[in-house]
Amino acid sequence: MSNTNDSHVELMKQPIFILSCVRSGSTMLRCIVDTHPNLCSPGHLNLGPLCGRLYRTTYYSLGHLPGIETDEQRDQLAIKETRRVLEDLLGRYAQGKGKNGWCEKSTINIDCLEILAKVFPQAKYICLYRNCLDVAYSCIKFSPLGYMPELASYVQKNPSNLVAAMLDNWLEKTGKLIAFEQDHADQCIRVNYESLVLQPKLVLAKLFDFLEESWDESLIDSIFKVPHDQGDGDLKVWFSGKINKDSIGNGTAIPFTAIPGELMAEINMLHQQLGYPTIETLYAEHRVNDDQALDELDLSDFFKNRFLQDTSARIDQFSQLRGVCKFVITGLKGGVWTIESNSNGLTLKEHDEACDCTIATTYRVFCELVEGRKTPVNAYEQGEITGDGNVLMALEFGRLLFGGS
């Protein structure tokens, strides 16, 4: 099969890239773009790393042929050849789809922004952001059987606190993206995931105007009806029939105490630049909503009476448990309780003190655990309950509090 001729490639619009951290809605956004009659958007192509490899291959092969003598000549040749190969490839893809523009969304591209800007100097970039708590929560919930390659290094760096690992990923990627957006302001448009799902007509009208494409509100009704090429990304998209709003605000299910203090100021600084509330504000807002939506559970009464009664029948199973555990429950109705287990039994204190381990969760999740509407295993897997310090001891105290033999 012969390649598409050069005249067709010249008719192609400049490429579009969706740039985002993982779990920020890029799969949904690329399906939206792909629905437009003039634009196509395939699954992950990882064009950023591919650009780097093609550039290097050209630089050290064609770039060393006779007549090419300087590094600048090699650089320009490698850039031109890399662009030619990819524009030909994606141009033929777009032509086969009956469209005249293409958009690539691989999240790994955020680590290759310099080479992308060199190869495609006229490209347009959709900078997609999502608040850090929801990204962290979604990453943890999405990865029960293993983490995405983009997250592996952060998990290795923070193996004892997966929340910190996910927040570290968000901080690094979001920082890179904001800096790139500032340096290429005329080529970038900022899209917040939350605004996209809450006000899709308003956001998409501005987006397609930036892309110099026509806008018809009926496109929204077609997103999940027209076929899209599948690839890596959020599998939930393929089972959706509409733009869902149910993923907004779930991040506050992460216990506040699981967020390292040294990351808080950095997160708040980037949140401020993106128009998001501070971490403290997000928790305060959702504590009110959660606490008001729940039946009244007096935690002080629970620990002083019900907890001691429930555990007295099972304390023999934990006769070897020795140590002090602190329970931190966040929320307007929350508090701190310290439980010491020794040869004389259990001692309960309603205040903070030195301990061997800490178990932290939110008031809402604690109520669900106590009432049996959620298991500790599920809460832990979803990042809604954390253990710190002596983890094995925390596990035993957790079994003592929530049941288990």
- Work out the average pLDDT over 190-214: 96
**Which of 404, 335, 397 has its CA nearest to residue 363?**
335
Q: Say whether pLDDT at 6 is over 80.
A: no
- Work out the average pLDDT over 314-336: 83
The whole-angstrom separation of Cα 282 and Cα 133 is 9
Who wins on pLDDT, 163 or 58? 58
Q: Say whether pLDDT at 3 is over 70.
A: no
- With cut-offs at 50, 70 and 90, classify the pLDDT of residue 405: very low
Q: Say whether pLDDT at 8 is over 60.
A: no
- Work out the average pLDDT over 205-220: 96
pLDDT tens per residue, range 85-126? 999 999 999 999 999 999 999 999 999 999 999 999 999 999
Q: What is the pLDDT of residue 136?
A: 93
Q: What is the pLDDT of residue 5?
A: 45
The mean of the pLDDT values for the chain is 88
Number of H helices, E strands in the chain: 18, 10
Most confident of the following: 39-43, 238-242, 307-311? 39-43
Evaluate whether 293 touches 286 at the Cβ level (below 8 Å): no
Quick one: CA dihedral 173, 179, 183, 188, positive or negative? positive
The whole-angstrom separation of Cα 238 and Cα 222 is 13
pTM, full prediction: 0.76
Q: Say whether pLDDT at 68 is over 80.
A: yes
Burial class of residue 95 in the structure, from the number of CB atoms within 10 Å of its CB (0-12 exposed, 13-18 middle, 19+ buried): middle
β-strand partners of 362: 330
Q: What is the pLDDT of residue 313?
A: 67
Q: What is the pLDDT of residue 293?
A: 45
The whole-angstrom separation of Cα 390 and Cα 388 is 6
**Which of 56, 71, 148 has its CA nearest to residue 108?**
148
Q: What is the pLDDT of residue 223?
A: 93
Per-residue exposure over 321-342, b if at least 16 CB sit within 10 Å of its own CB, e if not: bebbbbbbbbbebbbbbbbbbe
- With cut-offs at 50, 70 and 90, classify the pLDDT of residue 299: confident
Q: Say whether pLDDT at 243 is over 70.
A: yes
**What are the chain's domains?**
6-246 (3.40.50.300), 299-402 (3.30.1050.10)
Q: What is the pLDDT of residue 4?
A: 42
Q: State what percent of residues in the chain have pLDDT above 90.
A: 54
pLDDT tens per residue, range 331-380? 777 889 999 998 888 888 887 889 999 998 888 888 888 888 888 877 87
Taking only Cα atoms into account, the Rg of the chain, rounded to an integer number of angstroms, comes to 26
CA distance from start to end of the chain: 67
Q: Say whether pLDDT at 9 is over 60.
A: no
Q: Say whether pLDDT at 139 is over 60.
A: yes
